[in-house]
A and B are shown apart, each in its own frame.
Chain A
Amino acid sequence: MNKLILTYSKSTLLTVVLGTFLIIQAPNVYAENNLSAREIMEKVDVESRKSTDSAFTRMKLTTCKYGLSGGKVKCAEKARVKLIENAQINTGEGNQDTKSIAIILEPSSEKGIGMLSYSYDDSDRDNETWLYLSALGKVKRISVRNSDDEETESASIFGTEMTTEDQETGKLDDYTYELLEFGTFRGREVAVIEATPKKHRISKSSYGKTQNWIDTERLITLKVQMFDKYNNPIKKLEVGKVEKINDVWMGRSLTFFNTVSNRLTNMKLEAINFDMDIKEDFLTQRALTDQAFREKFLKDLRKQAK
């Protein structure tokens, strides 16, 4: 039980929603074939950190055990579907702090569960997260001291096959990169880059190495193959429905295949909108507990969104 709250608080919905896109989004920087593996990854990273202020997203997470049927990957059991809406703004001095809220719309048993997160740039100030369980009508603040949070154990996102590690950005110094191949993949020019965690990093990582298929023109990841520490393939990420949204290339459908447990999670972005008009008063505890208040704001956001 004690472990559960800890890991949960680390994978706030803020990081979930944005982080997952960060790994695949990239602005329209054109490829330069003479870049080293590390330089390509740096470019992807630098561009992906561009601010995505005032975002409103709706995503659908589908998880199931899969099998092959007629050569196609299919769910072999009734899929579990979660529908989540998330709103986020940057606030504070120099817009360095972030406030976000995520509300579960489906399944009905979890409908209304909400999570509010404030994260502060000032490292002396603890990040704050409130959790609301609608069936119990209770709000709890979840606290983790930053200084105590040196562990970076990977946590799942909503109990799916996606983990916080899968959507981590930056930390380029933690890995060594090797360019395996240049070529054409799914009709795009790609560089296949292998990332191996360095010694200090590897014990905290679930992976022994990853191979990344990077679209060198759009600087977006098309596929990631993850290996365990014995060099066995254990998981892969396939990126589909690549579109340019708000001048940013991104995949609107990400599928994580756990090839050991034969489970997959597909994450579809049903809506993603930047530069929305999101009022700061909405991102308060009232939005968690007061359904009418919450619905009013969400309705407004949905209207703004395309």
Chain B
Amino acid sequence: MKNLLLYLNHYFAKVPGKLIPYRKTVLALALLSTIFMGYGASRFVLDTSFDVWFSESDPAIEALEDFRDQFGSDDGLFIVYEAKDGDVFSNKSLTLVSEITEVLDNYRQISDDVWLEKYGLTPDIVESLTHIKRVQSLSNIRIQKNEDDVLSSPRLVPKKIPIDAITLSQISSEADNQPSLPLFMFSKDHRFGAISIQTDFGAIPVVQELNDEPSLLDDDEWSDDFDEGMDDNAVIQKIEYQSDEPGLYIPFMKAITAVIEQPKMTEHFTFYPIGNAAMISLAMGTLIQAGFLLVGMVVIINLLLWSLFRSASAVVLPQLAIGLSILFVIGGLSWLNLASTTLIALTVMLIIAVGVADCVHVMSSYLFFRRDGKEHDEALSMAYGKTGVPILLTTITTMAGMSSLAVTGMPMFVQFGFSSAAGVFFAFLYTIYLLPVLLNYWHPMQIKKTQAISENRKTGIRLLVFLLKSRMVSFLCFFANPIVKLSKRMGLNWLLGAEWLQPLLNRIPAFVERFRYSIAIIFVSVFVICLYGATQVKIDSNLVELYSDDVPIGQAYEIVDEHMMGTGNMVIVIDTASSDGIMDPDVLNSMNRLQNTIEENYSEFIIRTNSLADLVIDTHAIMQDSEDYRNIPDSQIAVSQLLYLFNSSNPEERRALVSDDYSKSHISVQLKNAGSNEYKEFFNDIQRDINKEFNGLKDQYPDIKVQITGSFALMMRLADDISKNQFKSLAIAAVVISLLLMVTLGSFQAGVMSIIPNLIPASLAFGLMGLLGVPLDTDTLMIAPLIIGIAVDDTIHFISHYRMSLAQNHNMKLALVETINEVGQAVTFTTLILGCGFLMLTFSDYLGLAKIGTFGSLAIFVALLCDLLFFPALIMIFKPKFGQKDVEDNLNFIEATK
């Protein structure tokens, strides 16, 4: 191993020298492959649909698709409003709600001009209202009346809204007496009301395109001979549904918002929209903000690169590394015909971090040798000799870390893991094989060469480089100059110029030697506390807690959970696998008992349940004129006749509750919002109750299947799956990285010594989350390997450099000084650049991103302290020899500085 590392050292040192004579070939190859990948990337597909997270054979997804096939969309919008006069039944409240309902219900009757003038909406946005299937509010809801053998269903509130208080109070007490209205349409204290909008989201069928426009006069295949039975061979065309693209929700939500947020409405009401449409348009808003923050992150990285290296090449070349690596990943995915998910954003962040780190290490080392008086070629070779192996090691460990995501077995995470690993590998290829060639043309500390060899040939390229450089510089100066001037005034120039760095690094060995035990004790105790904290971390994803407190969604969820029918929902699908099975009184009774049981047992989650059984019970009581009949009739024929009424009136609504052959139905359950952690238990418990209730029907219906589905339930399950799997892959990554370090560093001792400083940044992030009670959600978990990867990288550079220096010089003191001076500078640079870059993300309203920013930058800064203080302290205390013999272990720095 030792020989291999030495061999690699030599190999990397020789790379620049070997490549430069073939620089044109290298450039041409790079250009060609870039064009190839760029062409591929032009076909890039970003799949933002919900289903993409599940494998197609996932039984839960199949159940959801079956459910939508059978019962239609479960994805609606629920607009809760708070009346500022405290009464949703006041004349003013009812009048305004009636206006909103009318507009949404009859949007097609409003002319384009009115839409534009009154609501500021263009026809294409208004068109999105086509997704509305039904609008219900207090102003148009009907109630059931049964008086003197007469059934009627008048509106709760007459079309002409009454003015006098007595009539209005009669209306409100009538509403209170309806079993289905309170919580659904208004809160018990009448402060809150709701407008329920049913949509076709998630159940919009893809209609087959006709191949050729057939002549209108061609006859088509049909037959009206259906009297006899069925044909088993008949192939039913499978209905495909359009995927839930966020693009569908955004204009829809925009149109709805324009209607409800008119001044006269907001004067009287406060609105709280709930549902996927509201959630996704909010997510889009934060996504745009995240976009700006990412730009901010890039600007900060640029400014720091500029101020630390004082060279445009140091700004441009790392970004080229990032740009090309991202392009190659995207191009590669597109060539492989793989659609990406939003996880690609994380891949991009990882590539930014790794690309910057790789280039900064090379260039920092190069600058170190140049400032030491070496010529360009020699400095470049020495820089690659020093940094090549650590870069290879960090590449391998980061790739291993990302690939460990494959163990999750969840297709999109496997793809994310491998494509990120590929991105890291591309960054490595760029740094090792393309960067030396580019540095040959354009590098920091450029001095005019006097040689006139092939001056003519070079002129063209030089001119191009010059032009590019001057453009780039003037572009950067445009932004940078004011900041640089300001920073000069404030003395920041000194800080950002890092002129303080080398003197500071020079003092570190003596400082560490003086306080080595204190340093070790502090770090170890922090480590122990954080390990304890990490055990306390709650893995939990809560939709609402993903946003900061000043985003109104949290408030909206709280209000709807507390006063109305709840923000979550799930469905329990009952498939008897037998025609008319659902009409069986035994099945309906089981459904009804299950509803009662779960409503009673899980009142902290469940607000209410609804099913066909309720409908049968209601109809029975009405038809028999007596509350004594508020039950399921004993005979199947009676049930069938009660359902006849329902079936004959509105098959769409009937189909939303029970399948055409009455073999399948479902119970819909309205839930309060809570974290995935609580729901996991809840879903398990409910499944147990389901089994207990329905197992009794197995004799009659051997193939009966009762299961939980619905997009909310699936999302919660997904969050829980991700958490579990991610934790598993994280653990595997830690083990794999540690093993790799032991093997590549050539000694068990070196491995162990490198693992501890490596673990501190990661455990600090998790430990703090545990100690501060911040739940570890899906998003934070996904970023964990990234944080670890970045933090680990610097430590690996530090340790491997020390070990190589020790192998060469057999002198601990020399090795440590050299490492701190050379790598210390690069590590400080990358820490400043990436740490400040990630800090930008802290300002996101989306806590998933903000947490990445906070804990990511914290981990990066702590990793620097580990490298500069803790690791040297460990060396001084334990004096490890890393498998080397004849090592001079005199580590007396205090004496030396005196």
Residues on A lying within 8 angstroms of B by beta carbon are 1-8, 11, 60, 62-81, 108-110, 113, 131, 133-136, 138-145, 148, 155-160, 180-181, 183-186, 190, 192, 199-200, 202-203, 211, 213, 229-230, 232-234, 238, 240-241, 253-255, 257, 260-264, 266, 268
> Which of A253, A257, A260, A261 makes the CB contact (< 8 A) with B207?
A260
B650 touches A253 (CB 8 A): no
Whether B651 pairs with A262 at a CB distance below 8 angstroms is no
For the complex, what is the distance from the CA of A246 to the CA of B2, rounded to whole Å?
105
* Contact across chains for B216 and A192 when beta carbons are under 8 A apart: yes
**Please, how many angstroms separate the alpha-carbon atoms of A257 and B111 in the complex?**
34
Total cross-chain contacts (CB, 8 A): 220
Residue of B nearest to A194 (CB): B216
Q: 26 A-B residue contacts at CB 8 Å?
A: A1-B619, A3-B649, A6-B142, A7-B650, A68-B235, A69-B233, A69-B234, A72-B221, A78-B579, A109-B636, A133-B623, A135-B640, A136-B638, A140-B149, A140-B151, A141-B150, A142-B152, A148-B154, A148-B159, A159-B647, A159-B649, A199-B108, A200-B109, A203-B106, A255-B223, A260-B207
- Contact status A2-B144, CB under 8 Å: yes
Min Cβ gap A10→B in Å is 9
Q: Does B224 contact A (CB under 8 A)?
A: yes
Q: Which of B653-661, B678-686, B745-753 lines the interface with chain A?
A: B653-661
Given contacts A133-B638, A183-B217, A262-B239, 14 further A-B contacts (CB under 8 A): A1-B622, A3-B649, A5-B649, A67-B237, A68-B237, A77-B661, A80-B661, A133-B623, A140-B151, A141-B150, A144-B152, A148-B159, A156-B648, A181-B216
Asked if B130 is at the interface of the complex by the 8 Å CB criterion, the answer is: yes
B637 surroundings in chain A (CB, below 8 A): 108-109, 135
Q: What B residues does A232 contact at CB under 8 A?
A: 207
Measured CB to CB, the closest approach of chain A to B60, in angstroms, equals 23
Q: Does B266 contact A (CB under 8 A)?
A: no
B641 adjacent to chain A (CB < 8 Å) = yes
Question: Is B57 an interface residue, CB under 8 A from the partner?
Answer: no
B230 in contact with A142 (CB, 8 Å): no
What is the total number of residues of chain B having a CB less than 8 Å from a CB of chain A?
A: 71
A240 to B223, CA, bound (A): 9
Beta-carbon contact of A203 and B105 below 8 Å: yes
Task: Determine whether the beta carbon of A203 is less than 8 Å from that of B109.
Answer: yes
Cβ B108 vs Cβ A76 within 8 A? no
Q: What's the minimum C-beta distance from B154 to chain A, rounded to whole angstroms? A: 6
Q: Top 5 nearest A-B pairs by Cβ distance?
A: A67-B234, A8-B649, A74-B231, A232-B207, A159-B647
Is B224 touching A66 in the complex (CB atoms < 8 A)? no
Q: From residue A198, how far is it (CB to closest CB) to chain B in Å?
A: 10
Convert B588-632 into 0s and 1s, putting 1 for each residue whose CB lies closer than 8 angstroms to a CB of A.
000000000000000000000000000100110011110000000
CB distance from B339 to the nearest CB of A (A): 24
Interface string of B205-248 (1 = CB under 8 A from A): 10100000000110101111011011101111101000000000
Q: Is there contact, CB below 8 Å, between B130 and A110?
A: no
Q: Within the complex, what minimum Cβ distance (angstroms) separates A147 from chain B?
A: 9
Q: Does B262 contact A (CB under 8 A)?
A: no
A136 engages B230 (CB within 8 Å): no
Contact B154 A155 (CB under 8 A): no
Given that A5-B144, A76-B230 are contacting pairs, would A255 and B222 also be in contact in the complex, using a CB cutoff of 8 Å? yes
Q: Are B638 and A75 in contact (CB under 8 A)?
A: no
**B502: interface (CB < 8 Å):** no
- Determine if B154 and A211 form an interchain contact, defined as CB atoms under 8 angstroms apart: no
Contact of B150 with A140 in the complex, beta carbons under 8 Å: yes
B876 contacts the other chain (CB 8 A): no
Q: Given that A160-B651, A232-B207 are contacting pairs, would A136 and B645 also be in contact in the complex, using a CB cutoff of 8 Å? A: no
B320 at the interface (CB under 8 A from A): no
**B233 to A, closest residue via Cβ:** A69
CA A141 to CA B231, docked complex, whole Å = 42
Q: Cα distance A7–B651 when bound, in Å?
A: 11
Q: Is the CB of B236 within 8 A of A76?
A: yes
Q: Provide the bound-state CA to CA distance between A43 and B564, in Å.
A: 55
Q: How far is the CB of A38 from chain B (nearest CB, A)?
A: 19
Instruction: Indicate if the CB atoms of A199 and B149 lie closer than 8 Å.
Output: no
Determine if B223 and A263 form an interchain contact, defined as CB atoms under 8 angstroms apart: no
Chain B positions within 8 Å of A213 at CB level: 216
Q: Which residue of A lies closest to B147 (CB)?
A: A143
* Interface presence of B635 (CB below 8 A): yes
Residues in B whose Cβ lies below 8 Å from that of A202: 108
Q: Which of B546-566 contact A (CB under 8 A)?
A: none
A135 touching B638, Cβ below 8 Å? yes
Q: Which of B147-179 contact A (CB under 8 A)?
A: 149-155, 159
Cβ–Cβ contact B217 & A113, under 8 A: no
| Interface residue from A2, A68, A131, A266 paired with B153 (Cβ < 8 Å) | A2
* A78–B654 alpha-carbon span in the complex (Å): 19
Distance from A300 Cβ to chain B, minimum over Cβ atoms (Å)? 27
Contact (Cβ within 8 A) B106 A140? no
B470 on the interface (CB 8 Å rule)?
no
- The docked-state distance in angstroms from the alpha carbon of A108 to that of B644 is 12
Interface presence of B642 (CB below 8 A): yes
Interface string of B110-153 (1 = CB under 8 A from A): 01000000000000000000100000000001111010011111
Beta-carbon contact of B650 and A155 below 8 Å: yes
Asked whether B701 is an interface residue with its Cβ less than 8 Å from the other chain, the reply is no
Nearest chain-B residue to A197 (Cβ)? B108
CB neighbours (8 Å) of A257 from chain B are 222
CB neighbours of B650 from chain A (8 A)? 3-4, 7-8, 155-156
Q: Does B646 contact A (CB under 8 A)?
A: yes
A68-B623 CB under 8 A given contacts A143-B150, A143-B151: no
Contact between A260 and B224, CB atoms less than 8 A apart: no
Please give me the residue from chain B that is nearest to A182 by CB atom. B217
Is B223 within 8 A of A8, CB to CB?
no
B230 contact set on A, CB distance < 8 A: 64, 74-79
B222 in complex: contacting residue of A3, A73, A144, A229, CB < 8 Å: A73
Residue in chain A with minimal CB distance to B636:
A109
From B237, B636, B642, B651, contact of A133 by CB (8 A): B642
Chain B, Cβ-Cβ closest to A132: B641
**Chain B residue contacts of A135, Cβ below 8 A:** 633, 635, 637-638, 640-641
CB atoms of B648 and A238 under 8 A apart: no
Q: How far is the CB of A230 from chain B (nearest CB, A)?
A: 7
Interface check B44, CB cutoff 8 A: no
The complex places the Cα of A157 from the Cα of B645 at a distance, in Å, of 11
Q: How far is the CA of A67 from the CA of B237 in the complex (A)?
A: 7
CB of B487 closer than 8 Å to a CB of A: no
The docked-state distance in angstroms from the alpha carbon of A191 to that of B226 is: 29
Q: A257–B661 Cα gap in the complex (Å)?
A: 17
Q: Is B107 close to A, CB under 8 A? A: yes
Answer whether residue B180 sits at the interface, using C-beta atoms and an 8 A cutoff.
yes
CB atoms of B231 and A76 under 8 A apart? yes
- Chain A nearest CB from B500 CB (Å) reads 66
CB pair A233–B207 under 8 Å, yes or no, is yes
A180 to B651, CA, bound (A): 33
Min distance, Cβ A255 to any Cβ of chain B, angstroms: 5
Residues B226 and A62 in contact, CB atoms below 8 Å apart: yes
B651 touches A159 (CB 8 A): yes
What chain B residues lie within 8 Å of A81 (beta carbons)?
Answer: 227
Residue among A66, A71, A257, A266 facing the most chain B CB atoms (10 A cut-off): A66
Q: What CA separation (Å) do A237 and B2 show in the bound complex?
A: 82
**Interface contact B618-A74, CB-CB below 8 Å:** no
Q: Give Cα distance in the complex from A234 to B652, angstroms.
A: 15
> Does B231 contact A7, Cβ atoms closer than 8 Å?
no
A6 to B144, CA, bound (A): 9
Is the beta-carbon distance between A234 and B207 smaller than 8 angstroms? yes
Max chain A Cβ within 10 angstroms of own Cβ: one of B235, B615, B637: B637
Whole-angstrom distance between the alpha carbons of A67 and B223 in the complex? 12
Interchain CB contact under 8 A, B142 and A185: no
- Given A230-B130, A255-B222, A262-B239, CB of A134 within 8 Å of CB of B108: no
**Min C-beta distance of B146 to chain A, whole Å:** 8
Greatest chain A CB density within 10 A among B150, B644, B647 is at B644
Known A143-B150, A232-B207: A266·B645 in contact at CB below 8 Å? no
Hey, which chain B residues are within 8 Å of A60, CB to CB? 227
Report yes or no: B231 in contact with A75, Cβ–Cβ below 8 A.
Answer: yes
Whether the Cβ atoms of A186 and B219 lie closer than 8 Å is yes
